[in-house]
Amino acid sequence: MQYTTRMVITRFAPSPTGGLHIGSVRTILFNWLYAKHCNGKFMLRIEDTDIERSKQEHVQDIYDTLNWLGLKWDGDVVFQLKNIKRHQEVAQKLLSEGKAYKCYCTQEELAAMRELSVKEGRTPGYERKCRDLKQELDKPYVIRLKCPITGKTEFTDLIQGHCCIDNEHLDDMILLRSDGTPTYMLAVVVDDHDMGITNVIRASEHLNNTYRQKQIYDACGWTTPEFAHVSLIHSEDGAKLSKRNGATTISEYEKMGFLKEAILNYLIHLGWNKSEEEILTIDQCIKLFDIRHVRSSPARFSMPKLLNINSIYMRAMSNEDLCLALQNFAGSDKYDHAGWERVLAGMSELKSRTRTLAELETMSAIYGNDGTYFGKIEADEATKNLFKNIIEENNWPDDIESLTAWLNEKIASHGKTLKEVAPAIRMALTKEKVAPSIFELFKVLGSKIVAKRLASSIA
RNA sequence: GUCCCCAUCGUCUAGCGGUCAGGACGCCGCCCUUUCACGGCGGCAACACGGGUUCGAUUCCCGUUGGGGAUGCCA
């Protein structure tokens, strides 16, 4: 048990080799929430040691995404590449202490051994050929950790519980490559230790690495942080969420018109639920969050659920805020000033019918545009006369109640019922079979535009 | 192949030895209603299987099956 008063420090450590995966966002969220819950810190470390694949644009993308989501990191960003000297020092120290050794085996030899192991049904791995070499050779070498051969390596994972492996299944891992650069395994451990990370919360694909990393901590004589391995997100067909079976990066969801609050709320409930309430504010999440109650099994991504959560957030927004969000999303030059005024006026009815900003953008066109492009409709003489009559009028009642009464009276005076003419009116006004109520349409569009559209529909 | 992890309605989950196994999404029905939504009410639907432990297992242990992950001088 730890009774230290050490401040909790978590971290997110991505390699900048692509867009941020939605699963990574969940990992970030858990790290961030745990840190906030404990009054600790959340740090960002860019693992840019893979020089071939690391790109500055992806680093920027990580910054942008974290900022967009409001999951701000504490302190300066750490770049792993800058710590290479330190990694090498640690490896050399282990070497001088006899806890590591030089291995001269070539990659070809290793590959052949691996193949043989699999063929013979053994756990594949390096078979410690150079471990007890007496003299140094004049050949390129890697530095390997002298791992325990017998016994077990175990730790308690905050999410997965007790994790254990027989050491015979682990081989002597490489610490320093033949070109002298550190491997991921070494770099992560050294950096996490140097940054004072107390809780490593990461994807469960790293669970197997953790046994190895534990051995490095032990060899260095360092305290291991607490680990928490978050399960992966699967797609709706049950396989690992990949580009082939769904949207993977967070920016794709942004482009589909999802609100960041909805994405966050959705992701946090993928594996965690501690409240009767489904919709929680970020402050409530901070208060309630406990990494120990995150489920250890993988969860499937559900688009219908995300759409539902998003629609709840959209409806909860004020019309003004939503209108602003829509302008941000669609571009404020999409409609002219008057057009945006109408969109705002009709927003209440618009938002109850749409689930994303993209859907809202599409439906907002019925108010935003003032054109008469809605085209001809089929209508009988009485309906046409009704339209003509409405077109001639220009002094409608202002409030929706009087307007309703006024319009109903007009319809009745032409020997029609609302039920009979409503579809035609809606089609003439919106070109859609589905839209807000026609009274609402009249009110928001105003007499001029209604007249224009009705006229063009019977022209 | 070998190793590691996981297993409650279709999906996300609550449960932490005794519950009519609760909620949410989706689905179905009804109400509201000029359409479609929103909203309201109701319904269908789950403890993977087999052994133990126990007075009693969804819950604890062991198998089986199924799913996922790892098996790099990538991270």
**Distance CA A422 to C1' B35 in A:** 8
Query: Checking DSSP bridges between strand A152-157 and strand A78-79, what pairing results, if any?
Result: unpaired
Structure tokens at A342: 């109408």
d(Cα A415, Cα A417) in Å, to the nearest integer? 7
- Positions 62-101 of A with beta carbon below 7 A from strand B are 80
User: What DSSP assignment string belongs to A307-322?
Assistant: HHHHHHHHHHS-HHHH
The residues of A between 188 and 207 with beta carbon within 7 Å of nucleic strand B are 204-207
Q: Which nucleotide is nearest to A125 (CA to C1')?
A: B71
Residue with tokens 């175990």: A154
Amino acid at A53: R
- Whether CB of A418 is under 7 Å from strand B: the answer is yes
Length A156 CA → B46 C1' (Å): 30
Cα separation, A256 vs A193, in Å, equals 40
Half-sphere exposure of A36 (CA within 13 A, CB side): 18
* ipTM (interface pTM): 0.94
Are A183 and A177 contacting, i.e. CB atoms less than 8 angstroms apart?
yes
pLDDT along chain A (459 residues), means of 10: 73 92 94 96 95 91 95 96 97 96 92 84 83 87 95 92 91 95 96 97 94 96 95 83 79 95 95 86 93 91 96 98 98 96 97 97 94 76 94 86 92 93 93 91 93 90
Q: Which residue is nearest nucleotide B26, judged by alpha carbon to C1' distance? A: A304
A439 CA: nearest nucleotide by C1': B34
Task: Give the contacts of A215 (CB within 8 A, at least 6 positions apart).
Answer: A145, A147, A148, A153, A170, A173
Alpha-carbon distance of A430 to A167, in angstroms, equals: 70
Q: What is the DSSP letter of A246?
A: S
DSSP structure class, residue A183: P
**DSSP designation for A204:** G
